[in-house]
């Protein structure tokens, strides 16, 4: 107790979540090639809705090919020119399309090295229309302008598909619905005004198993975004027919509602993911609301069993508890 009719509480909750479609075919295809001018052209159909898949998938492909990111030119999400990379849902793009990008990058690298008749230890450097392949003290140069381009204007091309290995569930509910799972835990610290029933979030600590953080800044952004959605579920978002049918009346969190967030990235590379990476998008939302409700219970001694935990519901639970004394 703070002496002002307010009490603080701490709550914890955890989660696990599968990456990709459940027990269903879930393929993504990536095409990559080099133009006569020396650009690495990446055709990938994953739709970036703000989570950063354009960046992450290109990073994965660049690492697999062994060429700097700035050499890449992205052609993204155009059904006329990009292969199908599946839907942007199910926390799948980094894992599934990223794996296809890794495979395509490695396949293109293998084609170039085989053309130059060098081993896999060689390095590739692009300098305008020339490719330099170095192995030890020897350097082999390829003039791209002398090579025949295909219909897409590419002289070296690779296309690869990845579909996570899953198995359908049997009559007893046993099988392998996902190839990869993500895990996480969150701690919510908050303060409850016992007279008003209002909740002030103080801090949320989020630890999430991401396999390998391909882009740590984007991972932290996804954690913060998922927590913001979880705050909405826990404290304010409620659809009431005829009343909350627009964004004036249907409350969603703003930046002022999100407390400081401490990110803990747990990196245990998964052998199935691209460079060990897993999906993350939906995982973060799962433990936020339970952690907040547990913290409210710790602060007040009452369990709110319906979300959102609005001031009126918190006060009703407190009064019900007092009436039972």
65-100 pLDDT, tens digit each: 999 999 999 998 899 999 999 999 999 999 999 999
Report in angstroms the alpha-carbon separations of 212 from 126, 163, 175, 223, 265.
28, 20, 26, 15, 9
pLDDT for the residue 298: 98
* H or E stretch covering 156: strand 156-162
Q: What is the overall mean pLDDT for the chain?
A: 95
> ∠ at Cα 199 (7, 299), nearest 5°?
30
CA 313 to chain centre: 34
Active site residues: 282
Domains of the chain: 6-19+180-323 (3.30.365.10), 28-162 (3.30.365.10)
pLDDT for the residue 324: 86
Q: Taking residues 142-159, report their average pLDDT.
A: 95
Q: Taking residues 232-240, report their average pLDDT.
A: 97
Is the predicted pLDDT of residue 325 greater than 90, yes or no?
Answer: no
Q: Taking residues 202-209, report their average pLDDT.
A: 98
pLDDT tens by residue, 95-117: 999 999 999 999 999 999 999 99
pLDDT for the residue 95: 97
pLDDT for the residue 309: 98
> ∠ at Cα 129 (161, 151), nearest 5°?
45
pLDDT for the residue 77: 87
Q: Return d(Cα 60, Cα 281) in angstroms, integer.
A: 18
Sheet with 261-266, edge to edge strand ranges? 6-18, 181-193, 199-209, 261-266
Write the secondary structure of 173-225 as one string of H (helix), E (strand) and C (coil): CCCECCCCEEEEEEEEEEEEECCCCCEEEEEEEEEEECCCCCCHHHHHHHHHH
Evaluate the omega torsion of the peptide bond into residue 49 and state whether it is cis, within 30 degrees of 0.
no
> What is the phi-psi region of residue 51: left when phi exceeds 0, alpha when psi lies from -120 to 50, beta otherwise?
alpha
Cα dihedral 173, 176, 181, 183, rounded to 10, equals 30
pLDDT tens by residue, 194-204: 999 999 999 99
3-state secondary structure of 132: strand
3-state secondary structure of 26: coil
Helical H runs in the chain? 53-65, 98-116, 216-235, 285-300, 311-323
Is the predicted pLDDT of residue 176 greater than 90, yes or no?
Answer: yes
pLDDT for the residue 4: 67
The residues pairing with 162 across neighbouring beta strands, listed in sequence order, are 28
């Amino acid at each position: 107790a703070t002496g002002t009719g307010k009490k603080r509480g701490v709550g914890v909750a955890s989660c696990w979540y599968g990456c990709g479609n459940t027990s269903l075919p879930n393929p993504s295809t990536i095409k990559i090639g080099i133009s006569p001018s020396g650009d690495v052209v990446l055709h990938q159909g994953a739709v970036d809705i703000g989570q950063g898949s354009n960046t992450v998938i290109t990073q994965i492909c660049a690492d697999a090919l062994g060429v700097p990111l700035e050499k890449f030119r992205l052609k993204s999400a155009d059904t006329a020119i990009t292969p199908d990379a599946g839907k942007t849902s199910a926390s799948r793009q980094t894992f599934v399309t990223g794996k296809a990008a890794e495979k395509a990058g490695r396949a293109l690298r293998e084609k170039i090295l085989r053309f130059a008749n060098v081993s896999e230890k060689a390095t590739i450097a692009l300098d305008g229309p020339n490719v330099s392949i170095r192995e030890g003290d020897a350097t082999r140069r390829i003039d791209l302008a002398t090579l025949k381009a295909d219909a897409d204007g590419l002289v070296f091309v690779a296309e690869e598909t990845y579909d996570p290995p899953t198995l359908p569930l049997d009559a007893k509910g046993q099988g392998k619905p996902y190839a990869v799972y993500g895990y996480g835990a969150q701690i919510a610290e908050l303060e409850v005004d016992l007279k008003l029933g209002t909740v002030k979030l103080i801090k949320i600590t989020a630890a999430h198993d991401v396999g390998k953080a391909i882009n740590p800044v984007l991972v932290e952004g996804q954690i913060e975004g998922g927590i913001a959605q979880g705050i909405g579920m826990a404290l304010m978002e409620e659809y009431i027919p005829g009343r909350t049918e627009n964004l004036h009346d249907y409350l969603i969190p703003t930046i002022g509602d999100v407390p400081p967030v401490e990110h803990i990235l747990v990196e245990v590379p998964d052998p199935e993911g691209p460079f060990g990476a897993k999906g993350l998008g939906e995982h973060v939302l799962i433990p936020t609301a339970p952690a907040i409700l547990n913290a409210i219970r710790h602060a007040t001694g009452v369990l709110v069993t319906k979300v959102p935990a609005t001031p009126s519901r918190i006060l009703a639970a407190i009064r019900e508890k007092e009436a039972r004394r």
